[in-house]
Every structure is written in structure tokens, then in C-alpha cells.
């Protein structure tokens, strides 16, 4: 059972479209991170959110942390082919050992020209 459920697992869209990726859990997280991974490389951090209700923007990417700190979303506006990759959410659950990070199963995004 995944503690962090990401949806959708696969997303195939045309350049210029908008999309949202969701990361949900029944557990409360003290912080949540979003990473992007390209083939043959390790994940690279996009953003960290720590406060319930927090919204962070990174150019065309908007990240939101749920009020109850159980869920998060990543919204991409006007997707580009360079956004293609694997998107991973990762969180530290309240009450777990410091440093124990749980990852979702990932969303594979393909943006077609």
C-alpha cells in the first residue's frame, strides 16, 4: 500500500495544454517535496511546501499543499515539450523518524509538440 498516492500515473498531452498532478494520503505530512526526474538521471528538487494551504509558483508550475497537510497538487500551465519527465512527490510524515522520506509512485508526463 502506497502511503502517498499520485494520480494520474501517466499523462500524455499536447504542447500548450494545462495539467494537474495530484498527491494524496490519509496521513499528515510535516513537509512535502516535488521532484522531477529525467531518464538516466536522479530526481531533482522542484519545491518544498511546509505550511498547510501554502501555494508556491515556479514560472509555469504552481504547487499547493492542502490545508490539512495530507495532499498536494502540481499544476502546469501551457505545458512545453521540455516539461516531459517523471514527477515525484515525497513527504515526511508527522511522527516518523527525522529523515525518513516517503515517495509517491510518480507521474510520467509526456508533452507532444
Would you tell me which residues interact with other proteins (CB under 8 A)?
2, 4, 6, 9, 30-31, 33, 35, 40-45, 48, 88, 90, 92, 97-106
Number of other residues whose CB lies within 10 A of the CB of residue 5: 16
Q: Which of 113, 112, 88 is nearest to 102 (CA)?
A: 88
Cβ 24 to other proteins, closest distance in Å? 14
Cβ 18 to other proteins, closest distance in Å? 24
Considering only CA atoms, give the Rg of the chain.
14
Cβ 102 to other proteins, closest distance in Å? 7
- CB nearer to other proteins: pick between 40 and 113: 40
Q: Which of 73, 70, 53, 48 is nearest to 62 (CA)?
A: 73
State the cell numbers at 85: 519527465
- CB nearer to other proteins: pick between 45 and 78: 45
Cβ 40 to other proteins, closest distance in Å? 7
Three-state DSSP at 35 gives strand
- CB nearer to other proteins: pick between 95 and 113: 95
Amino acid at each position: 500500500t502506497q502511503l502517498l498516492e499520485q494520480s494520474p500515473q501517466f499523462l500524455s498531452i499536447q504542447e500548450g495544454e494545462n495539467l494537474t498532478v495530484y498527491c494524496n494520503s490519509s496521513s499528515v505530512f510535516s513537509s512535502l517535496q516535488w521532484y522531477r526526474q529525467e531518464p538516466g538521471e536522479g530526481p531533482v528538487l522542484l519545491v518544498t511546501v511546509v505550511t498547510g494551504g501554502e501555494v508556491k509558483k515556479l514560472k509555469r508550475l504552481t504547487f499547493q499543499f492542502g490545508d490539512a497537510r495530507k495532499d498536494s497538487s502540481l499544476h502546469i500551465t501551457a505545458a512545453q515539450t521540455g516539461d516531459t519527465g517523471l514527477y515525484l512527490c515525497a513527504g515526511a510524515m508527522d511522527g516518523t523518524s527525522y529523515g525518513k522520506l516517503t515517495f509517491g509512485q510518480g507521474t510520467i508526463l509526456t508533452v507532444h509538440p
